[in-house]
Amino acid sequence: MNKKPTLRKRIGLELFRRLKKNRVILHEMHTLFWECTLRCNLSCRHCGSDCKVSAEHSDMPLGDFLHVIDELTPYVNPNKVLVIFSGGEALLRPDIEQCGRELCRRGYPWGMVSNGMTFAERLEGLLASGMRAATISLDGFEKAHNWLRCHPQSFKKAVRSVQGLIQTTDIKWDVVTCANQQNFDDLPEFKRFLIEMGVKNWRIFTIFPAGRAALIPELQLDDAQFTQLMEFIHDCRLEGIIHTSYGCEGFLGNYEMEVRDHFFQCNAGVHVASVLADGSISACPSIRSNFHQGNIYNDRLIDVWNHKFQPFRDRSWARKGQCAVCNMFRYCEGSGMHLYNDRDELMFCHYKRLR
Ligand code: SF4
Ligand code: SF4
């Protein structure tokens, strides 16, 4: 597929642009991440590539986070704000189930992202505490997964977690895979493995060469492989057996709507907010600290949401560097916010990678 948007695609992109403007004006919070711990039971190769705070922070007391929730509740419809526990590995906290119950009591749906190391044994309790959504990382077959996760049992445990989720009803869950040199050639076979297990939703993401990840060439796909990956996801979607998508990051030209269910929009700060381990308020958890908007220990989340977050809602500042001369800026607006470095410079353009 040629990467340049066709006329038909451009019409779709123009219509979506209007919709996007309205969404920015409405500015409704749909997702609230809580980076509930920076502790982890794995030491994955790609972890740290996006690090922006020290892992020395101790876990935020549950009461502090619930205080944020209680301050927020009068201003939102709790049923429409999905709270997601992220980390580190959220399940290193013993009180996730308690937090889940407290959120349920207040009307918030909640979910989590997990590496699957202890998820299977906690699943019953998590479900009993009202968990509504989950994402498990599974990065290919055993060798590739254990290589990335640097742990000999990590694949078996993640698979057990997925098998547990397959037995559930009424919860939304998916498997997320980091495409890299170790698993790239196996993706078609891995897809069959997921289908045979009973996985219905599969999300694939890629790692961009920055920070620690830049030092490990096997973590990155080259431009030809990246384009091949888009073709692969497109084919999976046409086949329709497993709902496959590319992650939310990056404008993808003519692949827009072909590899995701929606046109590209970075929802950070438009629909997504985060409370980070040290209390910082941000949009997505992986956005660097130069974009932090306040701290729960000094500010009310709702005030920050309503009166700050301008760099996320008005992206005109991003029209600089390579984006200043790009004729896709009107649709892309300088890509995902997590792709900006400490000097507010874009580190990576997905569109340019496409062949
Ligand atoms: S150069 Fe900038 S605006 Fe153009 S596609 Fe890349 S990230 Fe988007
Ligand atoms: S900051 Fe990145 S991860 Fe967050 S919504 Fe934007 S593109 Fe997605």
267: Cβ below 6 Å to ligand 2?
yes
Gap between the Cα atoms of 249 and 280, Å rounded: 22
Gap between the Cα atoms of 311 and 292, Å rounded: 10
Gap between the Cα atoms of 267 and 20, Å rounded: 10
Residues in contact with ligand 1 (CB, 6 Å cut-off): 251, 322-323, 326, 328-329, 332, 334-335, 346, 349, 351-352
Gap between the Cα atoms of 42 and 154, Å rounded: 8
* Per-residue pLDDT reduced to its tens digit, 45-62: 888 644 344 456 799 999
Computed from CA positions of residues 21, 23, 28, 34, in that sequence, does the dihedral angle turn out positive or negative? Answer: negative
Single-letter code of the amino acid located at 199? V
Q: Pocket of ligand 2, candidates 284, 335, 351: which has the most ligand atoms within 8 Å of its Cβ, to mutate?
A: 284
Query: Which protein residue's CA is at the shortest distance from atom 1 of ligand 1?
Result: 323
Distance 242 CA to ligand 1 centre (A): 30
**Residue 340, SS3?**
strand
**Residue 51, SS3?**
coil
Q: Pocket of ligand 2, candidates 50, 246, 249: which has the most ligand atoms within 8 Å of its Cβ, to mutate?
A: 249
Tell me which residues of the chain have a pLDDT lower than 70.
48-56
Q: What angle do CA 28, 104, 248 make, to 5 degrees?
A: 40
3-state secondary structure 232-296: HHHHHHHHCCCEEEECCCCCCHHHCCCCCCCCCCCCECCCEEEECCCCEEECCCCCCHHHCCEEC
